[in-house]
């Protein structure tokens, strides 16, 4: 039985993770960590599953979809106590990403911008399409709920990285995030990003490969956060017997 602690259990993804965990026979949610004592998941019983404001209830593995400032503390604690990690937080700085790689030398970490199985299939398709349609103008469009704090989304950036790999270039050299004013003609080989924020959009992503006379679109629409929760628990069960290292959903899915 894998004992799991959910970081940010009072948030939207925390609710989805808790609900998903109740339906799994080989997983037990043993604690929920959240700084907020309000808005806990329906059916959450602190006598059975304690909610703590620190990390005093040490499980086998943490699932963390919080924010970088929180995840940094969780990662440090996990390394110190030998706790495995499934990390879905986005918006890390380059320095923080370097720390994650350092922590992964001590504990196994599955780190992904998106734990949806469908999105990870999409990333594989984008890499292949970018290699085949190397001359196409590529635009990546993403949409999320009004509360999302980072843009472009981590998934959109992963799509850009997949496309850059397919074209054997570095994303930072070809990325254009947003356009305004007199931008002039599009530069050859660039990858454009556009972000939409509004309402309760769970997550929508599209890659458009545009050429003279035709357009290929590859996309994914998430209608429920349960798709991310299911992927996170799939990753948790997969990484449970792995050695320290930094893994992705491509490893989990065998892509």
**220 an active-site residue?**
no
Buried b (16+ CB within 10 A) or exposed e, 127-151: bebbeebeebbbbbbbbbeeebeeb
Write b or e for each residue in 185-200: b if 16 or more Cβ atoms lie within 10 A of its Cβ, otherwise e: eeeeeebbbbbeeeee
> Does the active-site annotation cover 144?
yes
Closest to 203 in 3D by CA, of 179, 223, 183: 223
Catalytic one of 28, 148, 242, 251: 148
Strand partners, 139: 192, 208
Q: How far apart are CA 227 and CA 220, in angstroms?
A: 12
C-alpha neighbours within 13 Å on the C-beta side of residue 112: 25
Cα angle, residue 111 at apex, residues 26 and 140 outer, rounded to 5°? 120
Q: Which of 15, 84, 144, 206 is catalytic?
A: 144
The distance in angstroms from the start CA to the end CA of the chain is 27
- Report how far apart, in Å, the C-alpha atoms of 13 and of each of 25, 57, 206 are: 21, 20, 22
Helix (H, G, I), strand (E, B) or coil at 247: strand
Q: Which residues are catalytic?
A: 144, 148
């Amino acid at each position: 039985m894998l004992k799991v602690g959910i970081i940010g259990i009072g948030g939207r993804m925390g609710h989805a993770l808790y609900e998903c965990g109740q339906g799994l026979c080989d997983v037990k949610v043993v604690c929920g960590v959240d700084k907020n004592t309000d808005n806990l998941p329906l059916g959450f019983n602190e006598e059975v599953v304690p909610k703590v404001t620190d990390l005093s209830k040490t499980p086998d593995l943490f699932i963390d979809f919080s924010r970088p400032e929180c995840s940094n503390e969780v990662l440090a604690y996990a390394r110190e106590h030998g706790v495995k990690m499934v990390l879905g937080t986005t918006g890390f700085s380059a320095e923080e990403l370097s720390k994650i790689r350092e922590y992964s030398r001590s504990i196994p970490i599955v780190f992904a911008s998106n734990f949806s199985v469908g999105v990870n299939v999409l990333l594989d398709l984008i890499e292949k399409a970018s290699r085949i349609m190397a001359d196409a103008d590529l635009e990546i469009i993403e949409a999320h709920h009004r509360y999302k704090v980072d843009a472009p989304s981590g998934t959109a950036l992963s799509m850009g990285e997949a496309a850059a790999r397919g074209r054997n270039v570095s994303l930072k050299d070809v990325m254009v995030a947003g356009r305004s004013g007199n931008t002039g003609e599009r530069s050859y080989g660039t990858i454009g990003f556009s972000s939409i924020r509004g309402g309760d959009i769970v997550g929508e992503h599209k890659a458009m490969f545009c050429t003279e006379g035709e357009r290929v679109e590859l996309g994914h629409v998430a209608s429920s956060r349960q798709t991310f929760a299911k992927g996170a628990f799939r990753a948790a069960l997969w990484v449970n017997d792995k050695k320290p290292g930094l893994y992705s959903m491509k490893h989990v899915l065998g892509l």
